[in-house]
Structure 1
Amino acid sequence: MYITITPQKLGANYSQSAADYVDYLEKENQLPGIEEKDHELFFNQEEDGISPETVVKEIDANTAKLEKREPKFYSITVNPSQYELKKLQNSSEALKQYTRAIMKDYASSFNREINGRPISVNDIKYFAKIEHQRAFKGTDFQVKENQPYATKILELKNQIRKIERGEMQGSLSSKKQQILKLEKEAPYQQNGQRIVQGMPKEGNQSHIHIIVSRKDASNSYSLSPGSKYKASEVELNGKLVKRGFNRDLFFQKAEKTFDNQFHYQRNFVETYKARKDFIKSPKMYFSAIAGLPASEKALAIKMLRQTGIPMVPAISISKAQLTVKFIKTIKKGIQIASKSASIGI
């Protein structure tokens, strides 16, 4: 599971309306051949089938006393791994149930009170939408490692055009054969095609987008998940006021909610705690993998391989293999994989 929380910006400024983002989230419904009955619609904690127009109207109207330099809304993206999606059997209804459950976790991760009571999900104004497709990005390791081949192919295509225009001498058939060879030699392929930026990813790519207002449902209180304070109190007008949002707590709760709700047996490398442990002490992280039962270790290694991380042959993760160079390579791969949401580790 990989979850991100980001304020919505347009360049250096925060978006003053949710219209552009909502329109972006409608892209799958606008694909040719998608019938209206198959459209994924917006939903919130209580309602289904909410129109894009309603989402824009509700979010844009819920910005009382917010300045232009402040976020009006945040985007939460929930990216289940292939293993988690397999457990759900590609069920949109299950993803919807999970969204409603983790928004309770989101609310409870605020160290805030409204009228003397803790924040509840009823205080959160949000709208969510499920998407089933995802394209390769320029940051994906497959695209980056294919890039040298893409550069050479582009150069050869430019040479072909020059030959056709009579601007240079050369064999067209030879150039075309070189292109075909490079296309096959590119290390990352999908269905026999070189992976490039913008290519749709195969397999189950379902994920969840959540638009959450910066203000509470009453449009009276500011609830920022971007707060730099995890949990603290500050004196304001002679009173102690709670403040902060604990992201770590939210991510941990969201993971636990998935496991409990769908009876999911989470492997060590899939856990949020393991990812944090890796950042603190890579050697301890790999030592922990080495100490797993054989079947769990085999699955852990399989999951790591799927991130595209270069692994030593027939990896056994012995102490001798935990070199500084090896750890740095693994760390870089995990960071890239996390950002591209290719696997939730």
Structure 2
Amino acid sequence: MPISKPHSTLGATNISSCVDLAMYLEKENNELDKALKNTSSIERVRAIENRKQFFFSHSKNNISTNEVISSIDKNIKKLGKTDAKYFAPTINFSQQELKHIIQSVDEKKEFTSVWELNNNEYDLFIDKIKEYTKLIMTNYAKNFNREDKGLKSGNDLVYFAKIEHFRKFKGTDDEVKKGEYRAGDLKPGINSHVHIIVSRKDVTQKLKLTPITKERSTTRTIGGNRYHVGFDRMKWINMNEKSFDDFFQYKRKDRERFMNQYILKNGSPREKEALLKEIETNEQTIKNTINYAKNHTRNSPKRRSW
């Protein structure tokens, strides 16, 4: 499933400016700029420039880093010095999901890197991930259960997202320990993912939104006013999984489903055994159905043509 994590930060503090995080997310463009210095081919220059990614919001593309920093840093009305000012969710896809997105761009080809996509294919690939990101941020807004306060979609948030395509090996990775790669080497394959910077306050600056709260869903009454707090992270992941399957028309296997993976990792031995048996039964049923369809089609008598 798409792993959607509502991180508080990505190594930086989130109680002050988002400048460090925003500048950190320029790292891939900075590496592409280095590559530009080492090429004299006009065609190659255009290809590299086309691969650069810029921030986007729910309604706008090609947003500068300065605008991101300014918008997030100004959206802090009534937040104290030690209050969180923003959060940094990430969207990470499985290899099966990335392959499916690629095939929705061109089902006739097998791609092992985004560099193999032509400009048109690359643009389509990017557009699909952007649209899916917007669905996730609408799910994010809805998951706070504050629709009565006007929080209904991603349009009611102040957020900026950026797509990245590369991941690097770390010293703790098994491949590095085995000597297959060095720390800092690019990981092979398609590794596209999304980084998001979202303000703690909504667009009206009236609501405080905290996705890392321990409260999943609570109704409180203060001064005679009832209001809802909480954020159910598991519900958000399930919503995002369904949005992915619907948007990309993805037929998800039982083993890929978030709740099944969660039980297989955290469930009791009895729960794991029962689930595995159910999954294996369903897989065998699907396999038998496919084989029957193939054999029935192959063995069906052909009609004579007179």
> TM-score, length-normalised on structure 2?
0.74
Q: 2:182 aligns with which of 196, 200, 225?
A: 196
Equivalent residue, structure 2, for 1:53: 66
Contact 2:15 2:82 (8 Å CA) reproduced = no
Structure 1 distance, partners of 2:15, 2:10, is 5
Q: 1:271 aligns with which of 257, 262, 272?
A: 257
Residues 1:105 and 2:139 aligned together? yes
Equivalent residue, structure 1, for 2:128: 94
Q: For residues 202 and 93 of structure 1, do their structure 2 counterparts lie closer, same or farther at Cα, with a shift above 3 Å needed?
A: same
Equivalent residue, structure 2, for 1:339: none
Residues 1:21 and 2:21 aligned together? yes
Query: Which 10-residue stretch deviates more, 214-223 or 106-115?
Result: 106-115
SS of 1:252's partner is helix
Amino acid across the alignment from 2:162: K
Give the drift of 1:66.
1.4
Equivalent residue, structure 1, for 2:118: none
Contact 1:135 1:201 (8 Å CA) reproduced = yes
Q: For residues 64 and 9 of structure 1, do their structure 2 counterparts lie closer, same or farther at Cα, with a shift above 3 Å needed?
A: farther
CA deviations on 1:39-64 (whole Å, 9 max, x unpaired) are 11110111111111110110111111
Give the drift of 1:198.
2.2
SS of 1:194's partner is coil
Spell out the pairing of 1:41-190 with structure 2 (5 A cutoff).
41-89=54-102, 91-113=125-147, 115=149, 117-143=150-176, 146=177, 186=178
Give the drift of 1:30.
1.1
SS of 1:274's partner is helix
Contact 1:111 1:243 (8 Å CA) reproduced = yes
Structure 2 distance, partners of 1:9, 1:203, is 24
- % identity of equivalent residues: 35
Contact 1:216 1:223 (8 Å CA) reproduced = yes
CA deviations on 1:64-100 (whole Å, 9 max, x unpaired) are 1212322111111100011000001061111111101
Contact 2:91 2:195 (8 Å CA) reproduced = yes
Query: Which 10-residue stretch deviates more, 82-91 or 207-216?
Result: 82-91
Structure 1 distance, partners of 2:259, 2:282, is 20
Query: Which 10-residue stretch deviates more, 21-30 or 278-287?
Result: 278-287
Question: Which one has a larger percent strand, Structure 1 or Structure 2?
Answer: 1
Query: Which 10-residue stretch deviates more, 254-263 or 26-35?
Result: 26-35
Amino acid across the alignment from 1:36: E
Structure 2 distance, partners of 1:123, 1:210, is 15
SS of 2:84's partner is coil
Amino acid across the alignment from 1:40: Q
Calculate the aligned-residue CA RMSD, in Å: 2.2
Q: 2:53 aligns with which of 37, 40, 52?
A: 40
Structure 1 distance, partners of 2:81, 2:25, is 23
Residues 1:236 and 2:270 aligned together? no
Q: For residues 255 and 63 of structure 1, do their structure 2 counterparts lie closer, same or farther at Cα, with a shift above 3 Å needed?
A: same
Contact 1:111 1:242 (8 Å CA) reproduced = yes
Residues 1:289 and 2:290 aligned together? no
Structure 1 distance, partners of 2:35, 2:281, is 46
Query: Which 10-residue stretch deviates more, 39-48 or 217-226?
Result: 217-226
Give the drift of 1:139.
4.5
Contact 1:102 1:257 (8 Å CA) reproduced = yes
Structure 2 distance, partners of 1:140, 1:112, is 41
Contact 1:18 1:56 (8 Å CA) reproduced = yes
Q: For residues 97 and 142 of structure 1, do their structure 2 counterparts lie closer, same or farther at Cα, with a shift above 3 Å needed?
A: same
Structure 2 distance, partners of 1:229, 1:257, is 24
Contact 2:137 2:153 (8 Å CA) reproduced = no
SS of 2:261's partner is helix
Amino acid across the alignment from 1:216: D
Structure 2 distance, partners of 1:212, 1:270, is 28
Spell out the pairing of 1:307-318 with structure 2 (5 A cutoff).
none
Q: For residues 282 and 275 of structure 1, do their structure 2 counterparts lie closer, same or farther at Cα, with a shift above 3 Å needed?
A: farther
